[in-house]
Structure 1
Amino acid sequence: MRRQIITISREFGSGGRTIGKEVAQRLGVPCYDKELVKQVATETGLDEGYVEQKGEDAPGSSWLACAFSARGGQVGLNGLSVDDFLWAVQHRVIRELAEKGPCVFVGRCADYILRERQDCLHVFVHADPEVRADRIVRLYGESEKKPAKRLEEKDKKRRTYYKYYTGQEWGMSQNYHLCLDSGALGLDTCVDLIVGLAEKE
């Protein structure tokens, strides 16, 4: 069976987003990354930057989330906390986009949301911390925080968010069909492997 839907989960700085976009281009299908954030923002009326941030932050980790959290005593939208409301919309949008046809999803727990589909290829991209640290400095520049700290904080947020909404461990090989070390293999080889598996009958 051809794997028409590809989900790319990735460690920060591993190049997973770049790999996802290149895979989509090679296959001639849409890649949903920033586009997914934009659609969720449009449907909820919330700022894109806020939606993107909350797509990785642990629920209740910001003052705004706490202010609207049902646990904090205040109810958000439709009786849900802001975090849970965004998750519900994101969940629905991802499933609807998958129904439209072949595509690539980057992040957003798409691997879990689409876990029951038989036409999916779920990929996790990782790399050694040194490789990832070098990449984020090259791409995003220096900051007050050391690269290793930036990696640790970003991955911790993703891990906590994933665990909260899926009950599973982010990055655990059993949750994916394919785990790739982009530092050892190179981005181009990762793309070749994913495309090859996606096109395999």
Structure 2
Amino acid sequence: MKNRVITISREFGSGGRTIGKRTAEKLGIPCYDSELIHEIARESGFAESYIKDAGEYAPGGFFASAFSNRAFGPTNEDYLWQIQYHIITELAEKGPCVIVGRCADYILRDKADCMKVFIHADMDFRAKRIVDVYGEREESPVQRLKDKDKRRAAYYRFYTDMKWGHAQNYHITLDSGKLGIDKCVEILKGLY
């Protein structure tokens, strides 16, 4: 029997991580987010800070685009992708859970009874939220949002050949700015 898994993909600052954690708490199931980074670090030997960054960059940037046949062999990011793929698959097989980010929606597309969710919100909501949650930075909140979302989209496209945030790739998309974090949690709990 397949297990019930919720995957949460999200725009930066939309509250997707918070929604995932609160939904898991309400359902009494584990939520995997930073735990994934820890586990990937343990299996790969790479530092957690490196894995956190590598999970949002397509391998090699422009260089990889120009030489997409990977004539020089697999990259560190490719190695980490394989480990990530394996860990996410194992977690889904182990039991019901919520998995935040890391292309889990794609990885589990055929491997689990999986509800694929995308959380988004308008730029003003997200900009205010990242300042409230993460504090001010030298770079403007809007620029931080654009940069982070661009990296996530490129990583997702590189490894899945699908468009990140494209509604057809998900079972449900929720606007956390309009609905609120708590309502998004209620909706996901109700759909589970």
> TM tier, shorter chain?
over 0.9
Letter in 1 for 2:150: K
Equivalent runs, 1:86-105 vs 2, <5 Å: 86-105=80-99
In the other structure, the counterpart of 1:40 is: 40
Where 1:5 maps in the other structure, the secondary structure is: strand
In the other structure, the counterpart of 2:137 is: 143
Q: Can you list the C-alpha shifts for 1:57-95, whole angstroms capped at 9, x where unaligned?
A: 1211499x9xxxx9484x5xxxx3101000010001100
Identical aligned residues as a percent: 56
Instruction: Give the Cα separation in 1 of the matches to 2:158 and 2:57.
Output: 10
In the other structure, the counterpart of 2:161 is: 167
Letter in 2 for 1:50: Y
Deviation at 1:132, TM superposition (A): 0.0
Residue 188 in structure 1 maps to residue 192 in structure 2: no
- Structure 2, gaps ≥5 residues long: none
Where 2:89 maps in the other structure, the secondary structure is: helix
In the other structure, the counterpart of 2:113 is: 119
Instruction: Give the Cα separation in 1 of the matches to 2:62 and 2:19.
Output: 31
Instruction: Give the Cα separation in 2 of the matches to 1:21 and 1:3.
Output: 18
Where 2:99 maps in the other structure, the secondary structure is: strand
Instruction: Give the Cα separation in 2 of the matches to 1:174 and 1:55.
Output: 23
Instruction: Give the Cα separation in 2 of the matches to 1:117 and 1:85.
Output: 21
Deviation at 1:117, TM superposition (A): 3.6
Residue 30 in structure 1 maps to residue 24 in structure 2: no
Where 1:154 maps in the other structure, the secondary structure is: helix
Letter in 2 for 1:57: Y
Closer, same or farther: CA 97–145 of 1 in aligned 2, 3 Å = same
Aligned residues: 188
Runs of 4+ aligned residues of structure 1 deviating over 4 Å after TM superposition are: 70-73
In the other structure, the counterpart of 2:127 is: 133
Q: CA RMSD in A?
A: 2.1
Letter in 2 for 1:167: D
